[in-house]
């Protein structure tokens, strides 16, 4: 992949400064390399070569097909990443990635509602119409001409950093699917959640495959069929609860997005303080509208936060 080599050569290789802060050192790094890009709020440390190689050798166990419900097609790796590595990868990514708490307004039937996304999010990637050139700017994937499009202007797209690129490449090799986007959710506690939805946006094309990784605390992944049309209510399907553990990966494919909904419900009481969970999804956006949508809802226009390992919470990143 010549594009990647040139991009790495341009951004990826800067010696790490000796540490003067108390914010680490993190496990899994160690070769002193970082991924850089003008749109990153800060450089993102690469995984060491040995960890990178280990990720290329995954999954730890083969996936099991779950398709015993109408319109459902899942491939469940339990786990994909062995637990010792998943634990360190959780800490590494929480420390290294920039996170956002996105807020936005939705208008439904003339009524405007303010939404505060109930979890931390971040996103990297570019839809199929473009690739990043050596300067890290989108160029047309067919002609190589620099793209000037307002869909890329408000929030400039950022390439997938090497640490997540390692996992993307492994996931592509194992699933045979192609992915150009990486979305990350951080659920700091049981109070963070994602409500029932399906990832069936038009910009993903028909029957998209989405690979979804869990790191850190175990959280319940709930699935239920969308309402059946009148007369078909008897096509009985029962809701599913998958208690996803650290290192697990679930590939959702076929009609899973068009016919089913999924969620991570809140947890209360003694289950609420769980140490946090990271979810990584790999997806393939086909058109520029997908890029615009993903950056709007996962980066947004608010401030950047970064994990503070002393305070053990996300803190405003002043750069």
Ligand X SMILES: O=C(O)CCC(=O)C(=O)O
Return residues touching ligand X (CB under 6 A): 183, 185, 194, 199, 212, 221, 262, 264, 279, 281
Nearest distance in Å: CB 264, ligand X: 5
Question: Which residue lies nearer to ligand X by CB, 92 or 282?
Answer: 282
d(CA 268, CA 99): 24
Nearest distance in Å: CB 230, ligand X: 28
Nearest distance in Å: CB 132, ligand X: 23
Sign of CA dihedral 156, 173, 9, 53: positive
Query: Which tokens go with 250?
Result: 């679930």
Question: Which residue lies nearer to ligand X by CB, 11 or 120?
Answer: 120
d(CA 188, CA 314): 9
d(CA 52, CA 75): 24
Positions touching Fe ion (CB under 5 A) are: 199
Residue nearest to ligand X (CB): 279
Nearest distance in Å: CB 279, ligand X: 3
Question: Which residue lies nearer to ligand X by CB, 59 or 208?
Answer: 208
Question: Which residue lies nearer to ligand X by CB, 155 or 244?
Answer: 244
Q: Which of 252, 25, 3 is nearest to 134 (CA)?
A: 3
d(CA 101, CA 118): 8
Q: C-alpha 141: how far from its chain's center? A: 23
Q: Is 185 annotated as a binding residue?
A: yes
Question: Which residue lies nearer to Fe ion by CB, 225 or 306?
Answer: 225
DSSP string, 64-111: EEE--STT--EEEETTSS-HHHHHHHHHHHHHHS-BB--EEEEEETTE
The site partner of 299 among ligand X, Fe ion, none (C-beta below 5 to 8 Å per kind) is none
Q: Is 104 annotated as a binding residue?
A: no
Pairing label, strands 210-216, 138-140: unpaired
Q: Is 187 annotated as a binding residue?
A: yes
Q: Is 180 annotated as a binding residue?
A: no
Q: Is 200 annotated as a binding residue?
A: yes
Let me know how long the chain is: 319
The site partner of 279 among Fe ion, ligand X, none (C-beta below 5 to 8 Å per kind) is ligand X
Residues at the binding site for substrate are 200
Residues at the binding site are 185, 187, 197, 200, 262, 277, 281, 283
């Amino acid at each position: 992949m010549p594009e990647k080599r040139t991009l790495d050569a341009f951004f990826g290789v800067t010696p790490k400064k000796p540490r003067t802060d108390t914010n680490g050192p993190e496990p899994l790094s160690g070769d002193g390399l970082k991924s850089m890009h003008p749109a990153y709020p800060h450089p993102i440390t690469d995984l060491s070569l040995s960890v990178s190689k280990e990720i290329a050798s995954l999954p730890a166990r083969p996936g099991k097909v779950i398709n015993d419900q109408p319109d459902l097609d899942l491939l469940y790796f339990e786990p994909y990443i062995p637990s010792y590595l998943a634990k360190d990868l959780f800490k590494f990514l929480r420390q290294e990635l920039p996170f956002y708490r996105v807020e936005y307004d939705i208008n439904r039937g003339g009524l405007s509602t303010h939404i505060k996304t109930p979890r931390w999010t971040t996103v990297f990637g570019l839809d199929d119409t473009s690739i990043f050139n050596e300067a890290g700017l989108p160029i047309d994937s067919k002609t190589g001409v620099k793209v000037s499009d307002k869909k890329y202007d408000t929030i400039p797209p950022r390439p997938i950093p090497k640490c997540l690129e390692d996992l993307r490449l492994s996931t592509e090799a194992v699933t045979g699917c192609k992915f150009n986007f990486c979305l990350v959710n951080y659920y700091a506690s049981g109070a963070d959640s994602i409500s029932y939805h399906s990832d069936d946006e038009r910009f993903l094309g028909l029957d998209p495959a989405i690979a979804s990784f869990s790191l850190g605390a175990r959280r319940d992944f709930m699935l239920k069929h969308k309402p059946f049309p009148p007369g078909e209510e008897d096509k009985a399907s029962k809701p599913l609860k998958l208690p996803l553990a650290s290192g697990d990966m679930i590939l959702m494919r076929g009609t899973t997005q068009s016919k089913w909904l999924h969620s991570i419900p809140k947890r209360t009481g003694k289950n609420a303080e769980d140490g946090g969970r990271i979810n990584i999804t790999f997806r393939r956006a086909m058109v520029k509208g997908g890029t615009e949508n993903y950056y709007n809802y996962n980066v947004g226009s608010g401030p950047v936060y970064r994990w503070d390992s002393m305070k053990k919470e996300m803190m405003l990143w002043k750069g």
